[in-house]
């Protein structure tokens, strides 16, 4: 663990000194989430107004609304049409995906390959988490579940960005092997993700999901956390992301038992995830 401790020191120094080069959470996305947190009946006109003020974001949201991912049939050309087509929850999901996807780019070959797989895994976990809460009778949690799933591995992105900054620094002699990077990401991404989400001033419920999505001991009454953990497990089983673990038995997991999901329901979850992947996440 000594090697990881020294890497931890380096990464923390980079994060403290280079905040402007690290992942950011969009102010528009924050405003959209605040509307959902304030009321069970968010003001759609306010949300449309937030999106329209950012022309680049508006164009991206419209493009996503027309994609196979969101089951577009007839083409939409305005945010208002997109909101009618998708509904408010899916419109918010479009905003989250559009604003976060820009963070998942790199000129470094290792980072870019890793980020591509991470983004695919994050979006699949988001859609899976949302599917679970809706399937299990908690539609009011749909928006939160999507964001929880989308952001659960944000710590990995933060660390990859820090590695890139470190490698690009003049006079930097420390070389971190790919194996060491992978080990560090796996062991400490939840801690870093929690710290980043806290710095972004996101609601505590999202920060906790980020921190606890791998913990053996977890709050079994936290439905957002459980849905994200279960969706994450399903993604691992079918290989959406970095790793594939086909021997995972979903039905015996604590998360599946808490939601009382049968083998048939879990198979539906896996099919749903595979279908989303085939539609170019």
Query: Taking residues 209-229, what's their average pLDDT?
Result: 96
Q: Average pLDDT for residues 99-106, to the nearest whole number?
A: 90
Q: What's the whole-number average pLDDT of the chain?
A: 88
User: What pLDDT does 182 receive?
Assistant: 86
Check whether 195 has a pLDDT greater than 90: yes
- Ranked by mean pLDDT, the top range of 61-65, 159-163, 208-212 is 208-212
Range of lowest pLDDT (44-58, 214-228, 251-265): 44-58
Residue 90 has a pLDDT of 87
Q: Assess whether pLDDT exceeds 70 at residue 174.
A: no
Domain boundaries along the sequence of the chain: 25-102, 104-278
Stated pTM of the model: 0.89
pLDDT of residue 3: 66
Residues 21-70 have pLDDT tens digits of: 788 899 999 999 888 888 778 888 999 999 999 988 999 888 888 887 77
pLDDT single digits (tens) 70-90? 766 678 899 998 888 888 888
**For position 11, what pLDDT does the model report?**
85
Predicted confidence at residue 1, as pLDDT, reads 43
The three-state DSSP-derived secondary structure of the chain is CHHHHHHHHHHHHHHHHCHHHCCCCCHHHHHHHHHHHHCCCCCHHHHHHHHHCCHHHHHHHHHHHCCHHHCCCCCCCCHHHHHHHHCHHHHHHHHHHHHHHCCCCCCCHHHHHHHHHHHHHHHHHHHHHHHHHHHCCCHHHHHHHHHHHHHCCHHHHHHHHHHHHHHHCCCCCCCCCHHHHHHHHHHHHHHHHHHHHHHCCCCHHHHHHHHHCCCCCCCCCCHHHHHHHHHHHHHHHHCCCCCCCCCCCHHHCHHHHHHCCCHHHHHHHHHHHHHHHHCCC
pLDDT of residue 67: 80
Which of 106-110, 177-181, 277-281 is predicted with the least confidence, judged by mean pLDDT?
277-281
- Answer whether residue 183 shows pLDDT above 80: yes
> What's domain 104-278's architecture?
Orthogonal Bundle (1.10)
pLDDT bracket for residue 253 (50, 70, 90): very high
pLDDT at 215: 95
More confident residue, 158 or 109: 158
Average pLDDT of the segment spanning 96-112: 88
């Amino acid at each position: 663990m000594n090697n990881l401790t020294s890497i931890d020191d380096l990464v923390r120094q980079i994060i403290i000194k280079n905040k402007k080069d690290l992942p950011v959470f969009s102010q528009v996305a924050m405003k959209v989430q605040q509307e959902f947190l304030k009321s069970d009946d968010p003001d759609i006109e306010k949300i449309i107004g937030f999106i329209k003020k950012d022309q680049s974001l508006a164009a991206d949201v419209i493009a996503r609304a027309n994609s196979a991912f969101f089951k577009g049939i007839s083409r939409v050309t305005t945010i208002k049409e997109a909101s009618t087509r998708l509904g408010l929850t899916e419109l918010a999901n479009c905003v989250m995906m559009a604003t976060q996807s820009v963070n998942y780019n790199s000129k470094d070959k290792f980072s870019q390959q890793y980020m591509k797989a991470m983004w695919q895994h994050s979006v699949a976990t988001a859609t899976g988490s949302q599917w679970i809460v809706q399937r299990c009778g908690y539609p009011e949690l749909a928006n939160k579940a999507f964001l929880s799933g989308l952001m659960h591995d944000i710590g990995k992105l933060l660390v990859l960005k820090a590695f890139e900054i470190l490698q690009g620094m003049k006079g930097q002699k420390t070389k971190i092997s790919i194996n060491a990077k992978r080990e560090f990401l796996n062991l400490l991404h939840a801690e870093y993700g929690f710290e980043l989400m806290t710095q972004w001033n996101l609601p505590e419920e999202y920060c906790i999901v980020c921190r606890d999505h791998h913990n053996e001991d977890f709050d079994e009454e936290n439905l957002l956390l459980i849905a994200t953990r279960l969706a994450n497990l399903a993604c691992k089983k079918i290989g959406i992301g970095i790793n594939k673990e086909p021997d995972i038995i979903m039905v015996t997991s604590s998360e599946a038992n808490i939601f009382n999901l049968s083998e048939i329901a879990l198979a539906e979850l896996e099919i749903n995830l595979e279908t989303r992947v085939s539609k170019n996440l």
